[in-house]
C-alpha cells in the first residue's frame, strides 16, 4: 500500500501514470500501458551500435526530470535502473516505474542504504573512463560522481547542464525546439536544495528534445552503453 500512496500523489510526463489500485481479489496496481519496452532491452537491442547523441541526451533528460519531480515531493526512489525505465510506444520518451522501494525522506533518514538492486548500488566500482568524452559531458558525469554528496548537483541543476550541452551540439539556436527555451525550463533559484534537503513543490513538466545529428563522439556512447 505504500507504493500506491506514493505513486498516486505524483504526476509527471516522465512518470508512468497511476490509474488506480484494488486489494480484492488480489493487490493490483493499474497504470498506463507502456509498450516500448525497458531501457535495458532497448540498449541491448542497439548493440554493437550506439545511440544518436540527441536520443541519449533526451533519455538522460527524461530520467533527470522524473527524479527531480520525485525529489520535489520528498520522495526518494532508491531503485533507479534501466529495468525500471520504460519507453513509450514510439520509443521517444522514458517513464520511471516501480515505486515499491520508494520512501519519503523522513523515513529514509532512519534506514540504511542496503536496499534496492545490489548490482546497481556501487557504480563507482564499474565506473567507465571519462577519457575522450566531450568536455561538457565529462564535467556533468564527474560532478555527479563527487565523493561528497553535498558537492553533487541536484537534478534541477543536472537538467540545466544537459540542456546547455544539448544547445552546443546543434549548428545554431534556431534549430533547437523553441520549447527548450521557455519558462518551464528556467533554472531553480540559487538556493535550490539537493537530495539532502528536498524541495516542497514540483511544477516541472518539460518536453524532451529530439533530433538528428551526424557528428557522434563515440566516447560518450561507449560510456552511456556501459552505464546502462
Active site residues: 79
Q: How far apart are CA 160 and CA 154, in angstroms?
A: 10
Q: Single out the residue of 182, 162, 180 nearest to residue 59, CA to CA.
A: 162
| Cα angle 119-122-123, degrees, rounded to a multiple of 5 | 95
The answer to whether 83 and 119 have CB atoms below 8 angstroms apart is no
Handedness of CA 83, 85, 89, 90 (dihedral sign): negative
Buried b (16+ CB within 10 A) or exposed e, 144-153: eeeeeeeebb
Q: How far apart are CA 101 and CA 108, in angstroms?
A: 10
Amino acid at each position: 500500500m505504500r507504493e500506491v500512496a506514493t505513486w498516486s500523489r505524483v504526476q509527471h510526463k516522465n512518470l508512468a501514470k497511476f490509474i488506480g489500485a484494488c486489494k480484492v481479489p488480489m493487490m493490483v496496481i493499474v497504470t498506463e500501458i507502456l509498450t516500448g519496452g525497458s531501457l535495458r532491452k532497448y540498449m541491448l537491442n542497439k548493440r554493437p551500435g550506439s545511440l544518436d547523441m540527441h536520443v541519449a541526451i533526451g533519455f538522460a533528460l527524461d530520467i533527470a526530470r522524473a527524479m527531480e519531480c520525485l525529489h520535489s515531493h520528498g520522495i526518494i526512489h532508491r531503485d533507479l535502473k534501466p529495468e525500471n525505465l520504460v519507453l513509450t510506444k514510439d520509443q521517444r520518451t522514458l517513464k520511471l516505474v516501480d515505486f515499491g522501494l520508494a520512501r519519503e525522506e523522513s523515513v529514509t533518514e532512519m534506514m540504511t542504504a542496503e536496499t534496492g538492486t545490489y548490482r546497481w548500488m556501487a557504480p563507482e566500482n564499474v565506473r567507465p573512463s571519462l577519457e575522450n568524452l566531450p568536455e561538457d559531458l565529462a564535467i556533468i558525469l564527474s560532478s555527479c560522481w563527487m565523493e561528497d554528496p553535498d558537492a553533487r548537483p541536484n537534478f534541477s541543476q543536472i537538467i540545466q547542464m544537459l540542456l546547455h550541452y544539448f544547445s552546443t551540439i546543434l549548428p545554431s539556436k534556431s534549430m533547437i525546439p523553441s520549447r527548450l527555451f521557455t519558462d518551464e525550463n528556467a533554472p531553480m533559484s540559487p538556493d535550490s536544495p539537493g537530495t539532502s534537503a528536498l524541495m516542497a513543490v514540483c511544477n516541472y513538466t518539460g518536453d524532451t528534445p529530439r533530433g538528428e545529428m551526424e557528428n557522434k563522439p563515440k566516447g560518450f556512447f561507449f560510456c552511456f552503453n556501459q552505464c546502462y
